[in-house]
Homo-oligomer: A and B are copies of this chain.
């Protein structure tokens, strides 16, 4: 009966939601896309019911486990933040109850390696899933979770030690859409291999001078050295390179040589893998959507005995 539907897993992030009907083993039987937490504000219950009504009609009152910004102050319910350092398994023990059979995984807070408060919601579930899948191992280890707000986590013996957030994706979008640095003629931001490679190389030449290099996205274009449609990719290479170089310098005392695990969307983990390679680091790429479902499946397995 492993292929029978057992629970609903929902990755409800800022911009997108992904609803998955899963079996006991955490295999997704069906997947649906829905609106993100910002667009769902004030309507989480209605959207959840509409997205899952068919599944519940067919399979009965399946429990649902949710993670991501759905658990923020502007979400469906404000789930707590667990303080790190913490065992990744502790995340599975502490879901917040929204209503009967619907639970939101807690986020995690910490004091980051720069001494500032830091926060995550959603990535903790991916770390839990990767850990349960045996990907992270026991040794002290750096994990990169790239995205709108990239996280650089340190994991050791199944524990999340701390993490550092770099808003690399959000900065990239703001620079592309709202400055003259990348676009001044409304050209589309298409990926350019040449542009990305050149921006990435530039990030290694003048480390720690990101702000002082940004204008090159414009001046290289005006000088004819960079194609107009390569500016966004150049900026992506510069930002990802600066993100990786800076994070590795901050975390140099943690794991100075080991392979870095990158968990996220494949198109993005590939770009981070290239930046890590430029910095002399091997990496292993893990699909973020799969890791999220694996994490929510672990929450289901840990919670289910308590429910039945």
Write the A213-252 contact mask toward B (1 if CB under 8 angstroms, else 0).
1111011101101000000000000010011001101100
Contact in complex: A215, B175 (CB < 8 Å): no
Chain A interfacial residues counted at CB < 8 A: 49
Decide yes or no whether A137 CB sits under 8 A from chain B.
Answer: no
Q: CA of A285 to CA of B233 in the docked complex: distance in angstroms?
A: 38
Decide yes or no whether A208 CB sits under 8 A from chain B.
Answer: yes
Q: CA of A149 to CA of B211 in the docked complex: distance in angstroms?
A: 11
Contact in complex: A219, B114 (CB < 8 Å): no
Given the contacts A117-B225, A220-B117, A167 and B214 also touching, CB distance less than 8 Å: yes
Give A170-213 interface residues, CB cut-off 8 Å to B: 170-171, 173-175, 177-181, 184, 205-213
Decide yes or no whether A166 CB sits under 8 A from chain B.
Answer: yes
Q: CA of A282 to CA of B206 in the docked complex: distance in angstroms?
A: 26
Q: CA of A165 to CA of B168 in the docked complex: distance in angstroms?
A: 21
Q: CA of A119 to CA of B166 in the docked complex: distance in angstroms?
A: 30
A192 to chain B, nearest CB (A): 18
Q: CA of A177 to CA of B225 in the docked complex: distance in angstroms?
A: 31
Contact in complex: A212, B114 (CB < 8 Å): yes
Q: How many copies, total?
A: 2
Enumerate chain B residues within 8 angstroms of A1, measured Cβ to Cβ: none
Contact in complex: A116, B213 (CB < 8 Å): yes
A68 to chain B, nearest CB (A): 14
Decide yes or no whether A22 CB sits under 8 A from chain B.
Answer: no
Decide yes or no whether A87 CB sits under 8 A from chain B.
Answer: no
Enumerate chain B residues within 8 angstroms of A23, measured Cβ to Cβ: none
Quick one: which of B115, B173, B222, B250 contacts A117, CB cutoff 8 A? B222
Enumerate chain B residues within 8 angstroms of A225, measured Cβ to Cβ: 117
Decide yes or no whether A164 CB sits under 8 A from chain B.
Answer: yes
Instruction: Report 17 cross-chain contacts, Cβ distance below 8 Å, ordered by A residue.
Output: A114-B209, A114-B216, A116-B215, A117-B219, A117-B222, A117-B223, A117-B225, A119-B218, A167-B215, A170-B180, A173-B178, A174-B178, A208-B208, A210-B210, A210-B211, A211-B242, A212-B250
